[in-house]
Every structure is written in C-alpha cells, then in structure tokens.
Amino acid sequence: MESDPILERREREAQQAREKSLKIIMGVMAAVALALAGVLAYIWLQKSALVKDLEAEKKDLTEQMETLQADYANLSSDYDSINSQLDTSRAEVAELIERIKKTEATNRAKMRQYEKELGTLRSIMRNYIVKIDSLNTLNHRLTADAAAARKEAAESKRANQQLSQQVEDLTGQVAAGSVLKARGLSIAAYNSSDKVTDRSSRVTRLLTTLSLVENALAPKGPVRVYIRVKDPEGVILTNSVNTSFNYGGETMVASASREVDYQGKEVELSIYLNDIPAYTKGIYTVEAYTEQSRLGTAELLLR
C-alpha cells in the first residue's frame, strides 16, 4: 500500500509546529526562571543590607546604654534616699543592656521599645542631676545659715543665762507644785456581809480610801489611781485583772486601780480589791500611786 504524500507532509508540519511551540515554552520558562533568580538575588541583597543596618543600630543602642551606665556609675550624692534611687536605676540600666544583647537585631519592635526605655532612663538621670544640684545648693545655704545662727546664739547665750536660770527655777517650782497629792489614805477589810472586820478568815475584800487634795496647778482631766497591797510576806496581792502601770520609768504591778475626773478640786475615791482567795494573819500594807507621783501608804492588821 503506497503512502499518501499529503498526509506525510501534514504530519511533518504538525511535528515541526509542536517542536517550535515546545522551544518557545522552554524559552519563556527559562526567561521566567532567570527573572525569578534576579528577584531573589535582589531580595537577598536587600535583606542582607537591612540586617546589616539593624545590627549597626543594635550596636549603637548598646553603646549608648553602656555610656549611660557609666554616667550612672559616676553619679553620686550625699543623700541616702537619692543613693537608693540611683541604685535602682543602675540595676534597670544593667538589666536593659542584658536584654538588648539577648534580643535579635531584626526584632524591630523590641529595639524601638528599648530606645524608648533608654530615653526614659536618660530623663531620669537628668532629674537626678537637677535634684542633687538643688539639694547641694540648699545644703550650702543652710550650712551658712546654721553657722550664722550658731554665732548669734553664742552671742545671745551669755545675755540669756540669768533669764534661763530664772525660767528653769520657775519651771521646777511649777512642776513640783503641779504634782498631785493625797490625804486620808486608809485601808479596811470587809466580810461577806459588807461589814468591817479584822478577822483574816472572814475577809472577802479590801477597801482603800483617800482624797486627792485641791491643786490649781495640777493638770485637769482623767486621773487613774493605782494601789499595791502587800501581804505580811511582802507579796503583792493580785487578781485576774492583772493591772500594771509605769512609774519612774519602771513598770509596776498593781492590785487594783480607779479613774476619776480631777478638775483641781478635792476628790474622794475608794478602790476595792476583790477575788483574793485567802488572807493570812499579819500586817497588810497599801501604797497608792498615780503615774506621776506616790500618794502615800497605810497599814491594816488582820488577826
């Protein structure tokens, strides 16, 4: 069977067209690949340049922080409160330097934050400098004023010695005259029928009576009177109230106490001592006090 020349020619033409199309496609793809390579190279170069710039910014920021750290190290004052604040700021600077060193330069958000913190710490240091200068100026002025005052005081001292002595004498007289005093201090024992007794086995409570005498110089207002009752062995009688007071710089145990409103006029008062388990035969002694003075003492004999 003979081949058809027309069909063969068409097949050759179709084959040639396909080969031509393939060459065109391959050419286009090669061009695209070349363009992409160029773009990637450009991006890589841009990124490298950006990273280099960011590393330089990080280095510059670190150097600025280290300079600030040195400035803080050289800053000092004569005032403990400011020195304490400076120590805190120095610690913040050191911590910030460590954070900058550990942070990637490409972390621009963190770097911007650190720049703001650097500005804040610089502002704080300027405030410290202004405050220290102001305090030093004030201190110099106060020192000069104090020296002048000491000189003036020394000049006035001799002229005022006599007056001071007079004032001291009068003050002592007023202080001595303002001390509360008492009269009529006594102590009695009562039985369960609320009658006076001297039988130790029948005593249920003790009653101390006294009068605060009139004294116009004494301070007016509430006054608490304390009693200390000692048994024949010298032991202070106390109950569950556990009363105590301060006298002459010493804390003293009291048997009982009572507060009265003293207005400079004579005041009579009674103080009961209850809830003592038992009484023995012998002499009981009561001492009466305020926190400013000893009012007196009295005795009771129980058989």
Residue-level pLDDT at 11:
80
State pLDDT tens for residues 216-272: 888 999 999 999 999 999 999 999 888 999 998 999 999 999 999 999 999 999 999
Q: How confident is the model at residue 96 (pLDDT cuts 50, 70, 90)?
A: confident
The closest of 79, 68, 75 to 121, measured between CA atoms, is: 68
Q: Under a CB-based contact definition with an 8 Å cutoff, are residues 224 and 261 in contact?
A: no
Percent of the chain beyond pLDDT 90? 37
Q: How confident is the model at residue 212 (pLDDT cuts 50, 70, 90)?
A: very high
Helices (H), 103-209: 108-177
Q: Under a CB-based contact definition with an 8 Å cutoff, are residues 266 and 152 in contact?
A: no
Task: Write phi, then psi, for 231 (nearest 5 degrees).
Answer: -80, 180
Residue-level pLDDT at 173:
40
Q: pLDDT higher for 89 or 49? A: 89
Choose the weakest-confidence range: 37-46, 100-109, 129-138, 221-230.
Answer: 37-46
Residue-level pLDDT at 171:
41
For residue 9, is pLDDT > 60? yes
Q: How confident is the model at residue 162 (pLDDT cuts 50, 70, 90)?
A: low
Mean per-residue pLDDT, 47-68: 76
Q: Under a CB-based contact definition with an 8 Å cutoff, are residues 125 and 72 in contact?
A: yes
Q: Burial, 170: exposed, middle or buried (Cβ in 10 Å; 0-12, 13-18, 19+)?
A: exposed
Mean per-residue pLDDT, 130-153: 79
Q: pLDDT higher for 38 or 264? A: 264
Query: HEC string of 175-202?
Result: HHHCCCCEEEEEEEEECCCCCECCCHHH
Mean per-residue pLDDT, 48-57: 70
State pLDDT tens for residues 167-179: 454 344 444 567 8
Residue-level pLDDT at 167:
41
Residue-level pLDDT at 270:
95
Average pLDDT, the chain: 83
The radius of gyration of the chain from alpha carbons, rounded to an integer in Å, stands at 51
Q: pTM score > 0.85 for this model?
A: no
Percent of the chain beyond pLDDT 70? 88
Residue-level pLDDT at 291:
92
Residue-level pLDDT at 48:
59
Q: Under a CB-based contact definition with an 8 Å cutoff, are residues 255 and 248 in contact?
A: no
Q: Under a CB-based contact definition with an 8 Å cutoff, are residues 176 and 218 in contact?
A: no
Residue-level pLDDT at 221:
93
Most confident of 139-148, 166-175, 285-294: 285-294
Task: Write phi, then psi, for 242 (nearest 5 degrees).
Answer: 55, 60
